[in-house]
């Protein structure tokens, strides 16, 4: 019994299909690279403590700035201030990672091939 190939595939055209697939993968990689560069420059802002601490992080996960309201600065309670700064920075980083993941999933259609992207 002979195996049947799916419609559109032929015995002689295998190289054509592989070349087409390679071109599609290359195009997808180029789109992902462009999107990644764009997202790395984007800024993400998050606040903590009702807005008394604000952190700005780039998509490359570099902290750009931290703003602290004078009202929250208490020399007797540095621990709370530290926790607010950490919370704001972590939230901004989470936003950056989430947007990058969503963008890459849109481009790749959810395809996850290790080493390809």
Residue 6 lies in a domain: no
* 103 contacts 39 by C-beta, under 8 angstroms: yes
Count of domains for the chain = 1
Token output for 72: 């929250």
Q: Which residue has the tokens 């007797």?
A: 76
Q: Which residue would you say has higher pLDDT here, 7 or 84? A: 84
SS3 25: helix
Is the pLDDT at 10 greater than 90? The verdict is: no
pTM of the model: 0.72
The CA–CA distances, whole Å, from 65 to 62, 74, 93, 99 equal 9, 20, 13, 20
What CATH number corresponds to the domain at position 75? 3.30.1310.10
pLDDT digit string, tens, across residues 57-92: 999 999 999 999 999 999 999 999 999 999 999 999
CA distance 95 to 80: 23
For residue 59, the enclosing domain spans 14-108
């Amino acid at each position: 019994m002979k195996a049947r190939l799916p419609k559109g595939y032929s015995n002689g055209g295998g190289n054509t299909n592989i070349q087409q697939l390679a071109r599609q993968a290359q195009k997808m990689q180029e789109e992902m690279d462009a999107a990644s560069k764009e997202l790395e420059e984007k800024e993400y802002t998050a606040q903590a403590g009702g807005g008394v601490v604000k952190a700005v992080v780039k998509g490359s996960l570099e902290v750009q700035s931290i703003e602290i309201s004078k009202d929250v600065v208490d020399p007797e309670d540095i621990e709370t201030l530290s926790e607010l700064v950490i919370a704001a920075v972590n939230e901004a980083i989470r936003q950056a990672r989430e947007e990058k993941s969503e963008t890459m999933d849109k481009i790749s259609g959810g395809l996850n091939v290790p080493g390809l992207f």
